[in-house]
A and B are shown apart, each in its own frame.
Chain A
Amino acid sequence: MKLGRTIIAVASIAALSSTLVACSGGGSSTSDKQKVTFWQFDTAKASIDAYKTAIKDFEKKNPTITVDMQIVPWADQQQKITTALASGALPDVSMLGNDVVAQYAANGALAPLDSYVAGWSKAEGIDVKKDMYAGDISYYTYKDKLYGSPVADETRMVYYNKDLFQQAGLDPNTPPATWDEMEKDAKALKSVVSVPWSAPMSKQYVTVQTFMSVYLSYGASLFDSKGKCGLDTPEFKDALTWYTGIAKQGLTSPDAVNATSDDIANLFSNGKAGMLIDGPSRYNAIKEANPDLFKNVGVAAIPAGPKGQFGFLGGWPLVMWNTSKVKDAAAKWIHYATSPDGALSQIAQTSGILPGRKSLASKAPWTDAPYDQFAKQLSKAYAYQYPAGPSPKMGEIETASIQTAVQQVASGALSVNDATKALCTDINGILAK
C-alpha cells in the first residue's frame, strides 16, 4: 500500500514535469526546410506589406528557406534585444539602429558579413561596398569587419506650414536658413498658433535626433581628443541654452519635455504647429493623415549654425545575430532584402524611405521632390559623435544622457552649467565601464 502511494506520487510528479518539458520544447525542425526568424521594427502597414511581399518572392526563389517575420516596434526594440541577449532568444536576422551596430558588434553578438559580401558583389555585378554610403560603412564597420547591410538612410529637414507663415506675415517661400531665423520665425508664428515649432524636449530618441543638428552646428563634439566627454565647452553650453530657450520662451508645446515623438509629430500633422523637424517618411504620413494640410506643407533644409549645416544621419541595416544556426540562409535573405536586384526598391518606395544603396537612390522616384532634397542633404548628415568614429557605448550615451540633459534644462530642473556637468559625469561613467 505504502509503495503504491509512492508510485502514484512519483508518477504524478513525472507526468507534471513531462508536461512542462513538452511546453518548453517543440523548437526542432522536422523537415529540411530552414527557418530564418526576422525582427522587423517598422509598424506602418505599408512597410509590413512591403516586407510580406518581399518574403513571398524570396521564398519562391529559395524553396528550401522560410522567413518568419516578427514585428517589434522601434520603441520596444532595445528592450526586446536586451532581453533576448540575456536569455539567448535572439532572431537570426533583424533591423538595428545604425548607432548601436558597433555596440553589438563589440560584444560579439553580431556575425560579420564580409564572407558573404564578395558573393553578393559577384551576383550583382558591382562592388556592393562601393554602392553603400560612406557614412553607413563607417557606422557598420567594427574592427575592419562589416556587420550591417544598409536598408535605409534618412536625415531630418524642416517641415513648415505655409498657411501659418503667411498669416504671421512671413514669406511662405523663404523658410528659415539659420537657427536664429528659425527662432525669429517661431516668435512671429506665436501670434497665430500656440505651438510655433513642435520641438521635442523629452527623454525620447527624437530629442537627440533634433538637438544634434544644433550642437554640431555650434561646433560642439561629443568626445574630446582623449576619447572622453567633450561637451563641457562653451560651444555645447551655447547650443543647449539656445535649444532649451525654445521651450523656455514658450515656442514649443508646453508639454514638450514629456511628449512622445508621435505627440510631437501629430501637433504638426493636425495643423496645430507651425514647424517640425522630421524625416522623409513624414511626407507620406501627412499626405495620408491630412490631405488638406499637405497642400500647404513646405520642406526646407536643416538650418545652419555658426559652424554650418549639420543634418542628422539616421538609418538602419539588416544584421545577422551570431547565435543563428542558419547563417547561410540568413545571409541570403539579408542580401535579397537589401539589394537593388532584390526587394530593396519595392521596400523603400512603399515605406517612403531613402534606400541605402547609391545606385538606387540616384533613380526615380528618389529624384522627385521632396526625396531629392533629403538625398541632397544626406551629404551634409553626420553621426552624433562627429568627428569621432562609432562608439560601442553610443546607445547608452544618447538615451541616458543627452536627452536627459535637454529635458532637465528645458523643464527648469537644472541650469545649463549643472546639466552639462552632470551630462559629462554620466558619459564618462558609461565610457569607463
Chain B
Amino acid sequence: MSLAVRTIKGRSRRATGGTNPWYYVTPAMIVVGLLTIAPLLYGLYLSFTNWSLSSSLTPQLEGVTAYQTILGDPNFWANLVRTIEWTVGTLVVEVVVAVPLALLLNIRTPVTGTVTGFMMIPWITPFVVLSYAWLFLYDGQSGPLHAIMQGLGLVGASSPLANPATALWSITLISGWKGVPFLTIALLATLKSIPHELYEAGAIDGAGRWKNFAAITLPLMRPTLGAMCVVLGVQAFYSFDLVWILTQGGPGTSSTILGIQLFQTFFTQASPGEAAALGTIMLVLALILLVPVLRVTARRNS
C-alpha cells in the first residue's frame, strides 16, 4: 500500500499540469474499500461483540470476551500447532518437489513443453474435483493407492484419512502436490531469465556443475522462492476446502486446522462474534509469520 502511494506522489510531482491522479484512483479505491476494508472493519467490530446466534439476533459490544474464550481454549492451541505443521509441511513438499522439477524442465528436450503443460493439471483442477479423486485413491475398500500403501505395510485396512495418526499428513501431501505446478512455473521463469554468460564465466573460473548451482542458480532463484513461499504459505495457512471435503477435520480433531475451526465456530456453534475474533487472530498470526519473510525478500529484490 505504502509503496503504491509513494509511486503516485512521485508521478504527480513529475507530471505537473496533468490530470490529478487521485481522480483516476478514487473510484477504484472506493470499490476496494467497499469490498475489502469495510468487511474487514465489520469483522473487527464483530470480534468485540461475542455475538451468538443461539442467544440473540443482533450483535452487542462486549469487549474482549470472544478473544478470551478462544485463547483460553486448549483446542485452539492444538489447532494452531496443527496449522503450522500443515503450512510448513505443505511448503516443504512444494519446495522439495518443485525445485528439482524446475531445474529439470529448464533443460530443453522435445517433450519439455508437453510435460510442463500436463504438470499444470493439479493447479488448474478445482479443489472439489481433486478431493473426490483423492478420496477414491485413498479409499479403504477400492482405492488403488491405499492398496499399494497397504501392500507396503504403511497403512492398515482403513483409508489413511480414517486414521487419526495419518489423516493430517495424508492431506498435507495432497495440499503440497496441488501447489507444486505454481511454484515450478514461477521458478522456471526465473531460471530462464538467468543470463547464460554467468555460467560461462563460472566455467572459466573453474566451477563445476554443483558450484555453479550453489553460486549462481540458487542465489538468483531465492527471491522468487521467497515470494512464492509467502503466497503459498498464506494460502496454506488459511486452508479450509481440501480438509473439509476429505475429513471435516477428523477423525476426532486430528486434522482440525484453524480454517476448519473458523468454519465450525460460525456454522456449527452459530457464533459470528467468536468466529470474527478467530479470524482477526488468524490475520495477526499470518502477519507475524509473514512480515519477516516479506522484508527479507523485498531487501534482496532492491
Contacts and interface: CB of A to CB of B under 8 A. Distances in A.
Nearest to A430: B269
A16 B27 CA distance: 8
B56 to A, nearest CB: 6
A407 B251 contact: yes
Contacts of B27: 12-13, 16
A48 B34 CA distance: 38
A400 B251 contact: no
Given A400-B264, A400-B268, A17 B157 contact: no
A257 interface: yes
B140 A255 contact: yes
A78 B53 CA distance: 12
B267 A20 contact: no
A107 interface: yes
Contact of B54 (A203, A393, A414): A393
B163 A411 contact: yes
Interface string B33-64: 01000000000000000001111110000000
A404 B75 CA distance: 14
Given A255-B139, A257-B158, A392 B251 contact: no
Contacts of B161: 255, 258
A396 B268 contact: yes
B252 A82 contact: no
B26 to A, nearest CB: 6
Given A16-B30, A20-B34, A413-B164, A254 B270 contact: no
A399 B19 CA distance: 59
Contact of B248 (A9, A203, A255, A411): A203
Interface in B53-96: 53-57
B159 interface: yes
A3 to B, nearest CB: 13
A180 B163 CA distance: 27
A196 to B, nearest CB: 13
Given A13-B27, A254-B158, A433-B52, A407 B252 contact: yes
A408 B251 contact: yes
A189 B163 CA distance: 25
B223 interface: no
B141 interface: yes
Contact of A258 (B19, B34, B250): B250
Given A202-B250, A404-B252, A5 B20 contact: yes
Interface string B14-38: 0000011001001100110010000
A108 B57 CA distance: 8
Contacts of A393: 54
B38 to A, nearest CB: 12
Contacts of A17: 30
Nearest to A272: B141
A127 B23 CA distance: 70
Interface of B: 19-20, 23, 26-27, 30-31, 34, 52-57, 139-141, 156-159, 161-164, 246-254, 264, 266-270, 272
Interface of A: 5, 8-9, 12-13, 16-17, 20, 78-79, 82-83, 85-86, 103, 106-109, 194-195, 202-203, 250, 253-258, 392-393, 396, 399-400, 404, 407-408, 410-414, 430, 433
5 contacts: A16-B27, A82-B270, A103-B54, A194-B141, A400-B268
Given A85-B270, A257-B158, A413-B254, 5 more contacts: A78-B268, A83-B267, A107-B53, A257-B251, A411-B254
A-B interface, 8 closest residue pairs, ranked by CB to CB distance from nearest: A411-B251, A254-B140, A408-B252, A254-B158, A413-B164, A413-B252, A9-B23, A258-B162
